[in-house]
Amino acid sequence: MSVVVFFDLGDTLAIPRLSDDGSLQGLAVLPFVREVLNKLKQTGIDGKPLRLGVISNTGTETLTKMRFVLAEAELLDAFEPALLLFSSVEGIDKSQKQFFVLATQRAGVPAERCVYVSESEAERQVAASAKLRTSYHPLHVFHVIDLMMEGQ
């Protein structure tokens, strides 16, 4: 069974660039992110490749805009299209356990086979309440995956 790693966007993978009206103009990708995502895509567990997704609070942005911004930042291809979950599209946000439950349902794997990566302790607590494993930083996720491989 595959493992799915979901990432928060803002302040975890990138710094959002906002216009004067507060709408999202783009993403300033953090220096290590592309390398981490590429390495994760090459990593496998039990002979299955890791799958990558996004769980992000996105204000009022549309799916089209979010896909455009991710593509412009050269991040879109790292993620499975079905695993891009945006609060503005789903009608729920990361303060709600249901958002994380929805993510695991979309992934089609048990929550215990999913990791949520975010700098936000509050968001990680909500994800953990939905039984996802959590990581506080994209570089730390490799440790979480190693523990999963050891069966912990």
DSSP string of 62-82, one letter each residue:
-HHHHHHHHHHTT-GGGS-GG
pLDDT score of 94: 97
Domain residue ranges in the chain: 4-149
What's the whole-number mean pLDDT along residues 135-151? 91
H/E element holding 38? helix 33-42
pLDDT band with cut points at 50, 70 and 90 for residue 39 = very high
Kindly give, in sequence order, each residue whose CB lies less than 8 Å from that of residue 35, ignoring residues fewer than 6 positions away.
Answer: none
DSSP category for residue 81: G
Tokens of 73: 């930042």
- When the pLDDT of each residue in the chain is averaged and rounded to a whole number, the result is 94
pLDDT band with cut points at 50, 70 and 90 for residue 47 = confident
pLDDT band with cut points at 50, 70 and 90 for residue 49 = confident
Residue 134 in contact with residue 12, Cβ under 8 Å?
no
Residue 147 sits at φ, ψ, to 5 deg, of: -65, -35
Looking at the DSSP assignment, which residues form a beta bridge with residue 45?
48
What's the whole-number mean pLDDT along residues 7-18? 96
In terms of phi and psi (left: phi > 0; alpha: psi -120 to 50; beta: otherwise), the region of 47 is: left
CATH class of 4-149: alpha beta
What's the whole-number mean pLDDT along residues 101-129? 97
pLDDT band with cut points at 50, 70 and 90 for residue 110 = very high
pLDDT band with cut points at 50, 70 and 90 for residue 14 = very high
pTM above 0.85?
Answer: yes
